[in-house]
A and B are shown apart, each in its own frame.
Chain A
Amino acid sequence: MTTLQMDAPPARSATSQLIRTEVLLRLRDPLTLTFAFAFPILTMLIIGGSFGTEPDPVFEGQNPAHWYVASYLTVMIGATGLVTMPVHLASYRERGVLRRFAVAGFPRWSFALAQLAVGLATVVLAGALLLAVAAPVYGIPTVQDPVRVGLGLAAGAVAFVSLGVLLGTVLRSARAAQAVGLILFFPSFLLGVGGPPPEVMGSALRALSQFLPLAVVTDAVRQPWLGIGDGTGPLIATVAMAAVALVVAARRTAL
């Protein structure tokens, strides 16, 4: 008889085991993360090179390439929270994986917490990769206020990853999650983050873009990064969104 290697400690927590398993599964199937990793980098390379590198009033007097580098970390946050996570979770729900975990006695919040942790790790890794690609091509703009930038990124990631967990546990199929996720993501991406700068938009679109949640997170990061404002208002709004989304996702127990 062969013997299984059972090296986990007896008092291990449900969440840590789920995190370990999810990391393992994603490493085995890295293509599932393509959208969160590749899409922001590719679009940053294209858009960032489209407007030159000379400071431009349309970009609040900034180098357009740097404007986009400072913006695209939030594209990654949006891609992870609005598309990758809901599709992943909804496919688990659709196939009965969540039921399997639920009847096995995993605390219902543990699965959401594990997904939150893995989602945040994905954002950190994808962000590092995006900056590594941007550095030799456009250069990385100097971070004027690292504390506020860090806070904005952290709160934004928590807000959108929590939203992703919420969507994934509400939507009943992976196909529905993909449709809803893309509908939520692309307008936010084009109007609020990675598309044309607000100065060149019509007044209606410009007004709309200011209220898109992903645009708010982008302002909370970009303004203190480039020194074009302290971003206090967007930062407060982002922290509030993170708190609300986190609480709602945590209360969503019907896996």
Chain B
Amino acid sequence: MCPGAPPTSIVRMADDDVVTVRGLRKAYGGRVVVDDLDLDVGAGEVVGLIGANGAGKTTTVECLQGLRQPDAGSVRVLGLDPLRDATALRPLVGVQLQDSALPERLRVGEAVELFARRRGPRGAELLERFGLGARRRSAFAGLSGGERQRLFLVLALLNDPRLVILDELTQGLDPAARREVWSAVAQLRDGGTTVLLVTHELAEAEVLCGRVVAMRAGRVLDAGTPAELVARHADSATVRFSYAGDVRGLPALPGVREVTRDGATVTVRGQRQAIAHVGAWLVGRGDPVPADLRVDIPDLEQALLALLDGAQPQPATHLIGAAS
């Protein structure tokens, strides 16, 4: 509904770099929330900003939206300064905020009409797509949490924005609604819309994002495609089996980092190649292969959780040996 389209020259200069952040710093009352953060989002990318609560994700996107003034660093969105050029920028960015609301008695259809810059069928199409077509006469106060989130998504997409910022998009949604929202974001991605997805749900980031930026304590821990992050942080495996015999030969196998025993249960941790060597070692002993042999390979979510939380491996019950 905001009057005035941005100058075409501004749009042209923003074609390649949609978000460029350098050295962003923000503190609240002496508590540093974002610390020397760099972030790039290219046109057409779907980038996931992930981290636990308090990692600084929301403050970062609030700076991108011009809702917060950075203490230091530079922020450019579509080539514009979010604070100085807010009037030109905001019609180009669709935002779904983590904490926001509408007037309680405002009806769904009225909200769509109020936030639409142009009249047309777009609002109705989006309401249908997100399962709110039958709720357009319902007041905001009467919507469930999931319905509210879906309405905010509709409002974010209403004006065909060039960048969509989605902050904890699927929080409070049931699995069916979540899949529906994921599907919608995937459609945005396939259509070339640039999306910055803020989430602490790693599965969501893995499904939707071409690139993931992991944050902790206001800093970027690591960034890359999901495959790159798996290679860097999930190259590990755990092999467990019951075995009564001598296992002193296991720590010397290639890829084995640590061997522990708890009663009859032997646990071998190491790189993925250790799986094959432990199997060969067991077969080579001539004993029957243990019936409870189990191999655990961390997925991206587990790897990133360990990265984000700084989690350490479980302490060994009884350390047999460890690779030097």
Contact = CB atoms under 8 A, between A and B. Distances in A.
Interface of A: 1-14, 17-18, 21, 24-25, 28-29, 92, 95-97, 99-100, 102-107
Interface of B: 1-3, 65, 67, 87, 90-91, 93, 95, 97, 99-103, 105-106, 109-110, 112-121, 123-125, 127-128, 133-134, 136, 155
B67 to A, nearest CB: 7
Contacts of B123: 4, 6
Query: Which residue of A4, A29, A103 has the most chain B CB atoms within 10 A of its CB atom?
Result: A4
Contacts of A11: 3
B106 A29 contact: no
A25 B128 contact: no
Contact of A21 (B99, B114, B133): B114
A103 B65 contact: yes
A92 B136 CA distance: 22
A4 B90 contact: no
Among the interface residues B1, B65, B117, B120, which one has the most CB atoms of the partner chain A within 10 A? B1
Contact of B90 (A3, A95, A104): A104
A104 B100 CA distance: 12
A7 B119 contact: yes
Contact of B2 (A5, A100, A106): A106
A4 B3 contact: no
A28 B141 CA distance: 13
Given A103-B90, A103-B97, A4 B1 contact: no
B1 A106 contact: yes
29 contacts: A1-B125, A2-B134, A2-B136, A4-B127, A4-B136, A5-B109, A6-B113, A6-B116, A6-B119, A6-B121, A6-B123, A6-B124, A11-B3, A13-B3, A14-B2, A21-B103, A21-B110, A96-B97, A96-B101, A97-B100, A97-B102, A99-B99, A100-B102, A103-B90, A103-B93, A104-B155, A105-B90, A105-B117, A107-B2
Contacts of A105: 1-2, 87, 90-91, 117
Given A4-B127, A103-B67, A103-B97, A14 B1 contact: yes
A1 B99 CA distance: 31
Given A6-B113, A17-B114, A97 B103 contact: yes
